[in-house]
A and B are shown apart, each in its own frame.
Chain A
Amino acid sequence: MTCKVFNEKIADLFDVNVNAQDKAEFERHMEQCSECRTAYEELCAVYAMLQPSAKTQHELDEISTNVTFAKSPTKKRKIWWAVAASVIFLLGVFVGLNNFFTSSATAASQNSIALFDKAITYVQNVGSFQMEVFVRTNPEENFFDIHPDKDFIKSRVQLMRQADTVLYRIEREVEHGRVIVCDGKAQYMFVKNGTRYVKGNLGSDFLGMYGNLLYPDRLLQMQKFAIELAGDNTVLRSETDSTIVVVVEGTEWDDNLQEIYATGHRGRNHVTIENVFSKPDGLLRSVKYWLHKDGNKILVLYTGAIQYNPALSRKAITALPDEYSHPATEGGVYDMTKVSEIEDEELAQLQKESPVQTAARLLAAFTSGRAEDVKENLAGYVGNIDKINKRMKGCKFRELRELKVEDYVGVYIVYTLEYPDGATSQMHLALRNDNPRHVWLLDGGL
Chain B
Amino acid sequence: MKDVKTQLMQLADLMQAERSNMLRYACYRLGDPEEAADVLQDVYISVHTQIYNDDSVKILNLKSYLFRSLSNHCIDRLQNRSKRIVLSIDTVHDIADVSEEYSEADYVRVTKMLALLPEEQAEVIRLRIYGGKSFVDIAAILALPLSTVKSRFIYGLNKLRKYMNEESTVSHIKHLQP
Contact = CB atoms under 8 A, between A and B. Distances in A.
Nearest to B13: A264
Nearest to B169: A352
Contact of B116 (A47, A142, A351): A351
Contacts of A15: 128, 134-135
B83 A204 contact: yes
B150 A11 contact: yes
Interface string A78-92: 100100000000000
B45 interface: yes
A434 B80 CA distance: 10
Interface in B97-148: 98, 100, 102, 104-107, 110, 113, 115-116, 125, 128-130, 132-135
A49 B85 contact: no
Contacts of B58: none
Contact of A257 (B41, B93, B115): B41
Nearest to A200: B83
A2 interface: no
A61 B33 CA distance: 10
Contacts of A206: 83
B164 interface: yes
Contact of A96 (B52, B85, B93, B171): B52
Interface in A334-374: 334, 336, 351-354, 356-357
A264 B15 CA distance: 8
B129 A47 contact: yes
A316 to B, nearest CB: 23
B154 A11 contact: yes
A432 B158 CA distance: 26
Residue from B9, B13, B48, B133 with most neighbouring chain A CB atoms (10 Å): B48
Interface in B13-66: 13, 15-16, 19-20, 23-24, 27-28, 33-34, 36-38, 40-41, 44-45, 48-49, 52-53
Given A205-B80, A354-B171, A444 B90 contact: yes
Nearest to A401: B100
Contacts of A433: 115
Contact of B175 (A14, A354, A409): A354
A430 B87 CA distance: 12
A311 interface: no
B48 A97 contact: yes
Contacts of B164: 46
A200 B84 CA distance: 11
Interface size band for B: 35 or more
B157 A43 contact: yes
Given A56-B107, A60-B20, 12 more contacts: A12-B150, A14-B157, A17-B134, A93-B49, A97-B45, A99-B52, A142-B84, A261-B16, A357-B171, A412-B93, A433-B115, A434-B78
Interface of B: 4, 8-9, 12-13, 15-16, 19-20, 23-24, 27-28, 33-34, 36-38, 40-41, 44-45, 48-49, 52-53, 78-93, 95, 98, 100, 102, 104-107, 110, 113, 115-116, 125, 128-130, 132-135, 150-151, 153-154, 157-158, 160-161, 163-164, 168-169, 171-172, 175, 177-178
6 contacts: A53-B105, A189-B87, A191-B87, A402-B175, A403-B98, A404-B104
Interface of A: 10-12, 14-17, 42-43, 45-47, 49-53, 55-57, 59-61, 63-64, 74, 77-78, 81, 93, 96-97, 99, 142, 144, 176, 178, 189, 191, 194-198, 200, 204-206, 253, 255, 257, 260-261, 264-265, 334, 336, 351-354, 356-357, 402-409, 412, 414, 428, 430, 432-436, 438, 443-444
